[in-house]
Structure 1
Amino acid sequence: MAKWTPAHEAPEPLEGPVVATVTGGTVIWFVLFLAQLPFYGRLDDSGHLWRLWTCLVGTGLGLFGIWYARGREAAIERAAGQG
C-alpha cells in the first residue's frame, strides 16, 4: 500500500463565534425537548419516545460542548498572550 501524500496544504480552520454557536444549538435542543414534553404519552404509545430522549441528550452534549468551547477559547487567548 503506497503512502498517501496530499496534493496541497490543508486550509486554515474557520474561526467564528464558537461559544455562541454551541450555546444556540444547545438552547434549540432544550426548547425541542420542552416542546415535546406535553406529548409524552402520545410519543410513548406510538413508539417514538426516542425523539424526546434524543433532544435531552442533545442538550447534555451541548452543555459539554459549551464547557469545552469556553476552555478552548481561554487556552487560545492564553497562548496569544504569551507569544
Structure 2
Amino acid sequence: MAALDSGTPKHEAPEPLEGPVVATITGGTIIWFVLFLVQLPFYGWFAGHGHTWWLWTCLTGGGLGLIGVWYVRRRDAAIKRATGQQTAQAAPTE
C-alpha cells in the first residue's frame, strides 16, 4: 500500500475572490424579506399544513442577512482604511 501524503500542499492557495460583497449580501437579505412577505398572507394555510417554519426561516434569513450587511460594510470600510494607510505610508514626504 502506498504511503499517505503528509498533507503538505504542493502549490500555493489561490487568492480569495473579491467582488461586490456588500451588494451580494444586501441582495440576498432583500430576497429573504421578500419571500417572507410573499408567504405571510398564506399564514393560515402554512399553519394548517404544519409548514409555518417556512415563514420563520425566511424571517430568520432576513434577520441574519441584516447582521451580514452590517458585518461586510464594516469589513469593507476597514479594508479601505488599511489600503489608504498603506498608500499614505508608501508616499514619499517632501
TM-score, length-scaled by structure 2: 0.84
* Alpha-carbon distance between aligned partners in 1 of 2:67 and 2:10, rounded to the nearest angstrom: 36
| Pairing of 1:33-72 with structure 2 (within 5 A) | 33-72=36-75
Unaligned runs of 5+ in 2: 87-94
TM-score, length-scaled by structure 1: 0.94
List, as ranges, runs of 4+ consecutive aligned residues in structure 1 with deviation greater than 6 Å: none
Supply the RMSD in Å over aligned alpha carbons.
1.3
Deviations 1:25-73 (A, max 9, x none): 0000000000000000100110111000000000001000000000000
* Alpha-carbon distance between aligned partners in 1 of 2:40 and 2:51, rounded to the nearest angstrom: 12
Number of residue pairs aligned between Structure 1 and Structure 2: 83
Larger RCO (CA under 8 A, 6+ residues apart): 1
Partner AA of 1:43 in structure 2: F
Unaligned runs of 5+ in 1: none
Identity %: 71
Which structure has the bigger radius of gyration? Answer: 2
